[in-house]
Protein backbone atom coordinates (compact mmCIF):
# COMPACT_ATOMS: atom_id res chain seq x y z
CA UNK A 1 0.00 0.00 0.00
CA UNK A 2 1.32 3.44 -0.96
CA UNK A 3 2.89 5.34 1.93
CA UNK A 4 2.63 2.35 4.28
CA UNK A 5 5.72 1.49 6.35
CA UNK A 6 6.50 -2.12 7.05
CA UNK A 7 9.11 -4.08 8.97
CA UNK A 8 10.09 -7.69 9.17
CA UNK A 9 12.44 -9.74 11.34
CA UNK A 10 14.55 -12.59 10.07
CA UNK A 11 16.36 -15.09 12.33
CA UNK A 12 19.56 -16.54 10.94
CA UNK A 13 21.90 -19.13 12.46
CA UNK A 14 25.59 -19.70 11.87
CA UNK A 15 28.57 -18.35 13.74
CA UNK A 16 26.67 -17.93 16.99
CA UNK A 17 24.80 -21.24 17.05
CA UNK A 18 21.60 -21.01 19.04
CA UNK A 19 22.08 -17.32 19.72
CA UNK A 20 21.50 -16.47 16.08
CA UNK A 21 21.66 -13.18 14.26
CA UNK A 22 18.73 -10.80 14.32
CA UNK A 23 18.15 -8.50 11.41
CA UNK A 24 15.50 -5.80 11.48
CA UNK A 25 14.70 -4.67 7.95
CA UNK A 26 12.49 -1.65 7.36
CA UNK A 27 11.33 0.05 4.21
CA UNK A 28 8.97 2.76 3.03
CA UNK A 29 8.26 4.82 -0.03
CA UNK A 30 9.95 7.75 1.75
CA UNK A 31 13.13 5.67 2.04
CA UNK A 32 12.89 4.66 -1.61
CA UNK A 33 12.58 1.03 -0.53
CA UNK A 34 16.14 0.95 0.84
CA UNK A 35 16.62 -1.85 3.40
CA UNK A 36 18.32 -0.97 6.65
CA UNK A 37 19.65 -3.89 8.68
CA UNK A 38 20.85 -3.51 12.26
CA UNK A 39 22.19 -6.46 14.20
CA UNK A 40 22.29 -6.61 18.00
CA UNK A 41 25.12 -8.66 19.49
CA UNK A 42 24.97 -9.64 23.13
CA UNK A 43 28.41 -9.54 24.69
CA UNK A 44 29.89 -10.77 27.96
CA UNK A 45 33.00 -9.10 29.37
CA UNK A 46 35.63 -11.21 31.14
CA UNK A 47 37.91 -8.91 33.07
CA UNK A 48 36.84 -5.36 33.79
CA UNK A 49 40.12 -3.51 34.05
CA UNK A 50 41.07 -0.73 31.68
CA UNK A 51 40.29 -2.48 28.39
CA UNK A 52 36.80 -3.89 28.91
CA UNK A 53 35.80 -0.88 31.01
CA UNK A 54 36.81 1.25 28.02
CA UNK A 55 34.77 -1.02 25.73
CA UNK A 56 31.75 -0.51 27.99
CA UNK A 57 32.37 3.24 27.76
CA UNK A 58 32.38 3.01 23.97
CA UNK A 59 29.13 1.03 24.04
CA UNK A 60 27.57 3.79 26.16
CA UNK A 61 28.76 6.54 23.83
CA UNK A 62 28.85 5.02 20.36
CA UNK A 63 26.05 2.46 19.99
CA UNK A 64 23.83 4.74 17.94
CA UNK A 65 26.73 5.68 15.68
CA UNK A 66 27.67 2.01 15.25
CA UNK A 67 24.11 1.19 14.25
CA UNK A 68 24.27 3.81 11.52
CA UNK A 69 27.85 3.28 10.30
CA UNK A 70 28.60 -0.37 11.11
CA UNK A 71 25.16 -2.00 11.03
CA UNK A 72 25.20 -3.37 14.56
CA UNK A 73 24.87 -2.49 18.23
CA UNK A 74 26.28 -4.15 21.34
CA UNK A 75 24.32 -5.13 24.43
CA UNK A 76 26.33 -6.09 27.52
CA UNK A 77 24.66 -9.05 29.24
CA UNK A 78 27.31 -10.15 31.74
CA UNK A 79 30.58 -9.14 33.36
CA UNK A 80 33.01 -11.06 35.54
CA UNK A 81 36.16 -9.71 37.17
CA UNK A 82 38.46 -11.36 39.70
CA UNK A 83 38.52 -8.19 41.83
CA UNK A 84 35.10 -6.55 41.29
CA UNK A 85 32.91 -9.68 41.21
CA UNK A 86 30.24 -10.46 38.63
CA UNK A 87 26.86 -9.42 37.31
CA UNK A 88 24.44 -10.85 34.74
CA UNK A 89 21.58 -9.06 33.02
CA UNK A 90 20.14 -11.02 30.11
CA UNK A 91 18.00 -8.05 29.07
CA UNK A 92 21.06 -5.82 29.05
CA UNK A 93 23.19 -4.03 31.61
CA UNK A 94 23.44 -0.24 31.62
CA UNK A 95 26.96 0.44 30.28
CA UNK A 96 27.05 3.84 31.99
CA UNK A 97 26.43 2.23 35.38
CA UNK A 98 29.12 -0.37 34.66
CA UNK A 99 31.67 2.30 33.78
CA UNK A 100 30.79 4.18 36.98
CA UNK A 101 31.45 1.15 39.23
CA UNK A 102 34.35 2.09 41.54
CA UNK A 103 37.57 0.09 41.49
CA UNK A 104 36.80 -1.45 44.89
CA UNK A 105 36.86 -5.08 45.96
CA UNK A 106 33.48 -6.72 45.29
CA UNK A 107 31.97 -3.53 43.87
CA UNK A 108 29.61 -5.40 41.50
CA UNK A 109 27.65 -6.58 44.55
CA UNK A 110 26.03 -3.13 44.64
CA UNK A 111 24.40 -3.70 41.23
CA UNK A 112 21.10 -5.48 40.66
CA UNK A 113 21.83 -9.22 40.35
CA UNK A 114 25.45 -8.47 41.15
CA UNK A 115 27.84 -10.50 43.30
CA UNK A 116 31.13 -9.79 45.02
CA UNK A 117 32.49 -13.05 43.64
CA UNK A 118 33.78 -13.61 40.10
CA UNK A 119 31.76 -16.08 38.03
CA UNK A 120 33.53 -16.52 34.71
CA UNK A 121 31.98 -19.84 33.77
CA UNK A 122 28.47 -18.77 34.76
CA UNK A 123 28.74 -15.54 32.77
CA UNK A 124 30.04 -17.42 29.73
CA UNK A 125 27.51 -20.25 29.79
CA UNK A 126 24.34 -18.59 31.10
CA UNK A 127 24.33 -14.87 30.24
CA UNK A 128 23.00 -15.50 26.73
CA UNK A 129 26.03 -13.87 25.12
CA UNK A 130 26.78 -14.15 21.39
CA UNK A 131 30.34 -12.88 21.91
CA UNK A 132 32.76 -13.02 24.84
CA UNK A 133 35.27 -10.17 25.12
CA UNK A 134 38.16 -11.76 27.01
CA UNK A 135 40.68 -9.42 28.64
CA UNK A 136 41.99 -11.19 31.72
CA UNK A 137 45.44 -12.00 33.05
CA UNK A 138 48.05 -13.44 30.68
CA UNK A 139 50.00 -16.42 31.95
CA UNK A 140 52.94 -16.77 29.52
CA UNK A 141 53.67 -20.36 30.58
CA UNK A 142 50.37 -22.11 29.82
CA UNK A 143 47.98 -19.33 28.83
CA UNK A 144 45.67 -20.08 31.74
CA UNK A 145 43.11 -19.37 32.99
CA UNK A 146 42.30 -17.32 29.88
CA UNK A 147 42.60 -20.29 27.53
CA UNK A 148 39.97 -22.20 29.51
CA UNK A 149 37.64 -19.18 29.37
CA UNK A 150 38.03 -19.08 25.58
CA UNK A 151 37.44 -22.83 25.34
CA UNK A 152 34.26 -22.69 27.44
CA UNK A 153 32.82 -20.05 25.13
CA UNK A 154 33.84 -21.69 21.85
CA UNK A 155 32.47 -25.07 22.96
CA UNK A 156 29.05 -23.43 23.22
CA UNK A 157 29.33 -21.78 19.81
CA UNK A 158 29.98 -18.38 21.40
CA UNK A 159 32.53 -16.28 19.54
CA UNK A 160 35.57 -14.89 21.36
CA UNK A 161 37.46 -11.64 20.87
CA UNK A 162 40.54 -11.29 23.03
CA UNK A 163 43.50 -9.01 23.70
CA UNK A 164 45.21 -11.80 25.61
CA UNK A 165 48.56 -12.97 24.26
CA UNK A 166 48.79 -16.25 26.20
CA UNK A 167 45.93 -18.21 24.59
CA UNK A 168 46.91 -17.00 21.11
CA UNK A 169 50.66 -17.62 21.33
CA UNK A 170 50.26 -21.02 22.97
CA UNK A 171 46.95 -22.45 21.77
CA UNK A 172 45.81 -20.52 18.69
CA UNK A 173 45.55 -23.52 16.34
CA UNK A 174 43.48 -25.57 18.78
CA UNK A 175 41.18 -22.66 19.62
CA UNK A 176 40.61 -21.76 15.97
CA UNK A 177 39.78 -25.39 15.22
CA UNK A 178 37.35 -25.48 18.14
CA UNK A 179 35.73 -22.27 16.90
CA UNK A 180 35.29 -23.67 13.38
CA UNK A 181 33.85 -26.93 14.71
CA UNK A 182 31.18 -25.08 16.69
CA UNK A 183 30.33 -22.36 14.18
CA UNK A 184 32.02 -19.61 16.18
CA UNK A 185 34.87 -17.16 15.61
CA UNK A 186 38.14 -16.66 17.49
CA UNK A 187 39.62 -13.19 16.90
CA UNK A 188 42.66 -11.58 18.54
CA UNK A 189 43.78 -8.45 16.71
CA UNK A 190 44.60 -6.64 19.97
CA UNK A 191 47.07 -9.29 21.13
CA UNK A 192 50.01 -7.75 19.25
CA UNK A 193 49.77 -3.99 18.72
CA UNK A 194 46.69 -2.95 20.67
CA UNK A 195 44.33 -1.05 18.38
CA UNK A 196 46.74 -0.91 15.44
CA UNK A 197 45.42 -3.61 13.08
CA UNK A 198 48.73 -5.23 12.22
CA UNK A 199 47.49 -8.84 11.86
CA UNK A 200 44.44 -8.04 9.77
CA UNK A 201 46.36 -5.53 7.68
CA UNK A 202 48.97 -8.15 6.82
CA UNK A 203 46.43 -10.90 6.14
CA UNK A 204 43.99 -8.80 4.12
CA UNK A 205 45.54 -5.59 2.81
CA UNK A 206 48.92 -7.19 2.08
CA UNK A 207 47.44 -10.46 0.81
CA UNK A 208 49.46 -11.63 -2.20
CA UNK A 209 52.45 -9.41 -1.41
CA UNK A 210 54.43 -12.50 -0.33
CA UNK A 211 55.50 -11.62 3.20
CA UNK A 212 58.83 -13.31 3.96
CA UNK A 213 59.54 -11.84 7.38
CA UNK A 214 59.13 -8.95 9.77
CA UNK A 215 60.91 -6.96 12.45
CA UNK A 216 59.22 -4.69 14.93
CA UNK A 217 59.11 -2.60 18.05
CA UNK A 218 56.37 -4.52 19.82
CA UNK A 219 56.56 -3.33 23.43
CA UNK A 220 55.72 0.24 24.33
CA UNK A 221 57.30 0.10 27.78
CA UNK A 222 60.76 -0.90 26.58
CA UNK A 223 60.61 1.62 23.75
CA UNK A 224 59.61 4.38 26.18
CA UNK A 225 62.56 3.49 28.44
CA UNK A 226 65.05 3.55 25.56
CA UNK A 227 63.60 6.87 24.32
CA UNK A 228 63.96 8.33 27.83
CA UNK A 229 67.56 7.14 27.97
CA UNK A 230 68.19 8.92 24.68
CA UNK A 231 66.96 12.06 26.45
CA UNK A 232 69.62 11.62 29.14
CA UNK A 233 68.21 9.32 31.82
CA UNK A 234 69.90 6.16 32.97
CA UNK A 235 68.04 2.83 32.85
CA UNK A 236 66.83 2.94 36.48
CA UNK A 237 65.45 6.48 36.24
CA UNK A 238 63.82 5.77 32.88
CA UNK A 239 62.14 2.68 34.31
CA UNK A 240 60.89 4.65 37.33
CA UNK A 241 59.42 7.28 35.02
CA UNK A 242 57.69 4.57 32.98
CA UNK A 243 56.19 3.12 36.16
CA UNK A 244 55.01 6.53 37.37
CA UNK A 245 53.26 7.13 34.04
CA UNK A 246 51.62 3.70 34.08
CA UNK A 247 53.59 2.29 31.14
CA UNK A 248 55.44 -0.25 33.28
CA UNK A 249 54.13 -2.64 35.95
CA UNK A 250 55.53 -2.84 39.47
CA UNK A 251 57.30 -5.97 38.21
CA UNK A 252 58.55 -4.88 34.76
CA UNK A 253 60.33 -8.14 33.93
CA UNK A 254 58.03 -9.21 31.10
CA UNK A 255 58.56 -5.87 29.35
CA UNK A 256 62.24 -5.11 29.88
CA UNK A 257 63.48 -8.69 29.44
CA UNK A 258 61.59 -9.18 26.18
CA UNK A 259 59.15 -11.87 27.32
CA UNK A 260 56.13 -9.86 26.16
CA UNK A 261 57.70 -9.31 22.73
CA UNK A 262 58.54 -13.01 22.44
CA UNK A 263 54.84 -13.95 22.70
CA UNK A 264 53.94 -11.37 20.06
CA UNK A 265 56.66 -12.63 17.72
CA UNK A 266 55.27 -16.15 18.07
CA UNK A 267 51.77 -14.89 17.21
CA UNK A 268 52.91 -12.97 14.13
CA UNK A 269 55.23 -15.72 12.89
CA UNK A 270 52.56 -18.39 13.23
CA UNK A 271 49.73 -16.32 11.77
CA UNK A 272 51.58 -14.60 8.93
CA UNK A 273 54.46 -16.91 8.03
CA UNK A 274 52.75 -20.24 8.64
CA UNK A 275 55.22 -21.18 11.37
CA UNK A 276 54.48 -23.47 14.29
CA UNK A 277 56.68 -21.76 16.87
CA UNK A 278 56.39 -21.88 20.64
CA UNK A 279 57.93 -19.26 22.94
CA UNK A 280 60.78 -21.68 23.67
CA UNK A 281 61.76 -21.56 19.99
CA UNK A 282 62.47 -17.82 20.14
CA UNK A 283 65.84 -16.61 21.46
CA UNK A 284 65.16 -13.75 23.85
CA UNK A 285 67.28 -10.94 25.31
CA UNK A 286 65.99 -7.76 26.96
CA UNK A 287 67.24 -4.21 27.45
CA UNK A 288 68.24 -4.23 31.13
CA UNK A 289 71.96 -4.40 30.27
CA UNK A 290 71.93 -1.35 28.00
CA UNK A 291 73.73 1.56 29.67
CA UNK A 292 73.58 5.32 29.23
CA UNK A 293 77.03 5.06 27.68
CA UNK A 294 75.69 2.61 25.07
CA UNK A 295 73.00 5.13 24.17
CA UNK A 296 75.53 7.97 23.86
CA UNK A 297 77.88 5.89 21.73
CA UNK A 298 75.00 5.01 19.41
CA UNK A 299 74.02 8.68 19.05
CA UNK A 300 77.57 9.59 18.04
CA UNK A 301 77.30 7.01 15.26
CA UNK A 302 73.89 8.19 14.05
CA UNK A 303 72.22 5.08 15.47
CA UNK A 304 69.70 4.13 18.13
CA UNK A 305 69.11 1.08 20.30
CA UNK A 306 65.72 -0.61 19.90
CA UNK A 307 64.28 -3.84 21.29
CA UNK A 308 63.42 -5.73 18.12
CA UNK A 309 61.25 -8.79 17.70
CA UNK A 310 61.73 -10.45 14.34
CA UNK A 311 61.07 -13.58 12.28
CA UNK A 312 62.29 -14.65 8.87
CA UNK A 313 61.47 -17.51 6.51
CA UNK A 314 64.68 -19.13 5.33
CA UNK A 315 65.40 -20.50 1.86
CA UNK A 316 64.74 -23.96 3.31
CA UNK A 317 61.23 -22.89 4.27
CA UNK A 318 61.78 -22.86 8.03
CA UNK A 319 61.10 -19.81 10.19
CA UNK A 320 63.64 -18.45 12.65
CA UNK A 321 62.73 -15.81 15.23
CA UNK A 322 64.40 -13.75 17.93
CA UNK A 323 64.01 -10.90 20.40
CA UNK A 324 67.05 -8.74 21.14
CA UNK A 325 68.32 -5.14 21.45
CA UNK A 326 69.57 -4.02 18.05
CA UNK A 327 71.57 -1.00 16.99
CA UNK A 328 69.67 0.57 14.11
CA UNK A 329 70.97 3.34 11.85
CA UNK A 330 68.86 6.47 11.93
CA UNK A 331 67.92 5.76 8.30
CA UNK A 332 66.01 2.65 9.41
CA UNK A 333 62.24 3.17 9.49
CA UNK A 334 62.07 1.83 13.05
CA UNK A 335 64.85 4.02 14.46
CA UNK A 336 62.68 7.13 14.65
CA UNK A 337 59.79 5.41 16.47
CA UNK A 338 59.90 6.85 19.98
CA UNK A 339 57.96 6.84 23.24
CA UNK A 340 55.36 4.13 23.85
CA UNK A 341 54.60 3.81 20.14
CA UNK A 342 54.91 0.44 18.38
CA UNK A 343 55.85 -0.35 14.80
CA UNK A 344 56.49 -3.35 12.56
CA UNK A 345 58.16 -3.57 9.16
CA UNK A 346 57.07 -6.41 6.89
CA UNK A 347 59.46 -7.74 4.28
CA UNK A 348 57.57 -8.54 1.07
CA UNK A 349 58.67 -9.83 -2.32
CA UNK A 350 56.35 -7.59 -4.31
CA UNK A 351 56.30 -4.32 -2.34
CA UNK A 352 59.61 -4.36 -0.52
CA UNK A 353 59.46 -3.25 3.13
CA UNK A 354 56.07 -2.05 4.41
CA UNK A 355 56.08 -0.36 7.83
CA UNK A 356 53.07 0.11 10.09
CA UNK A 357 53.29 2.53 13.02
CA UNK A 358 50.64 2.98 15.69
CA UNK A 359 49.54 2.78 19.28
CA UNK A 360 50.79 -0.29 21.12
CA UNK A 361 48.93 0.40 24.36
CA UNK A 362 46.11 2.45 25.86
CA UNK A 363 42.64 1.72 27.21
CA UNK A 364 40.58 3.09 24.33
CA UNK A 365 43.06 1.93 21.71
CA UNK A 366 42.98 -1.66 22.97
CA UNK A 367 39.21 -1.56 23.36
CA UNK A 368 39.07 -0.53 19.71
CA UNK A 369 40.95 -3.75 18.88
CA UNK A 370 38.05 -5.70 20.40
CA UNK A 371 35.62 -3.60 18.38
CA UNK A 372 37.60 -4.25 15.19
CA UNK A 373 37.34 -7.98 15.85
CA UNK A 374 33.58 -7.67 16.29
CA UNK A 375 33.41 -5.69 13.04
CA UNK A 376 35.24 -8.54 11.31
CA UNK A 377 32.83 -11.11 12.79
CA UNK A 378 29.87 -9.01 11.69
CA UNK A 379 31.19 -8.66 8.14
CA UNK A 380 31.76 -12.38 7.83
CA UNK A 381 28.34 -13.15 9.27
CA UNK A 382 26.68 -10.67 6.93
CA UNK A 383 28.37 -12.28 3.93
CA UNK A 384 27.03 -15.66 5.00
CA UNK A 385 23.53 -14.22 5.32
CA UNK A 386 23.44 -12.89 1.76
The distance from CA 222 to its chain's CA centroid, rounded to whole angstroms, is: 19
Q: Look at residue 27 in the predicted model and tell me its pLDDT.
A: 37
137 closest CA partner among 166, 161, 158: 166
Q: What is the pLDDT of residues 165-186, one digit of tens each?
A: 999 999 999 999 999 999 999 9
Q: Look at residue 37 in the predicted model and tell me its pLDDT.
A: 83
Beta bridge mates, 366: none
pLDDT band for position 43 (cuts 50, 70, 90): very high
What mean pLDDT is predicted for residues 186-202? 94
Q: Are the C-beta atoms of 156 and 124 separated by less than 8 Å?
A: yes
321 closest CA partner among 213, 189, 197, 199: 213
Q: Look at residue 281 in the predicted model and tell me its pLDDT.
A: 97
Mean pLDDT of the chain: 90
172-196: burial string, b at 16+ Cβ within 10 Å, e else: beebbebbeebbbbbbbbbbbbbbb
**The whole model's pTM is what?**
0.88
Helices (H), 70-110: 95-100
- Residues whose CB is less than 8 angstroms from the CB of residue 217 and which lie 6 or more positions away in sequence, other chains included: 223, 306, 307, 308, 309, 334, 337, 341, 342, 343, 344, 360
90 is catalytic: no
Q: What is the pLDDT of residues 62-87, one digit of tens each?
A: 999 999 999 999 999 999 999 999 99
pLDDT band for position 247 (cuts 50, 70, 90): confident
Distances (CA, A) of 327 to 185, 335, 347: 40, 9, 19
Q: Look at residue 237 in the predicted model and tell me its pLDDT.
A: 95
User: Does residue 334 have a pLDDT over 50?
Assistant: yes
User: Does residue 354 have a pLDDT over 80?
Assistant: yes
End-to-end CA distance of the chain: 27
> Contacts from 20-27 at CB under 8 Å and sequence distance 24+?
21/381, 21/385, 23/385
Q: Given the residues 215, 264, 306, 381, select the one marked as catalytic.
A: 264
pLDDT band for position 3 (cuts 50, 70, 90): very low
Q: What is the pLDDT of residues 93-114, one digit of tens each?
A: 999 999 999 999 999 999 999 9
Element (H, E) at 225: helix 220-230
Beta bridge mates, 266: none
Q: Which of 61-75, 117-131, 238-252 has the lowest mean pLDDT?
A: 238-252
Q: State the number of CA atoms in the 13 A half-sphere of 315 facing the CB.
A: 0
- Residues whose CB is less than 8 angstroms from the CB of residue 34 and which lie 6 or more positions away in sequence, other chains included: 27
What mean pLDDT is predicted for residues 260-285? 97
Amino acid sequence: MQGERFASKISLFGIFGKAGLRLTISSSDEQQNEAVAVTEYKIALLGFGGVNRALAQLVAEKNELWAEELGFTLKIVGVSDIFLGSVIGKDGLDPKKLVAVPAAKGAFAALVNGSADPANETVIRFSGADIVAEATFTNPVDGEPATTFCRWALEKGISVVTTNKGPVALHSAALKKLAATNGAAFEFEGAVMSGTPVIRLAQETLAGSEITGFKGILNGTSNFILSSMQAGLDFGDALSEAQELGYAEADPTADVEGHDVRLKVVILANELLGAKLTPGDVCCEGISNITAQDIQNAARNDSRWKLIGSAQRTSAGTVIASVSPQLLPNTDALAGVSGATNAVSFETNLLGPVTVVGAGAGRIETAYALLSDIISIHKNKTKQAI
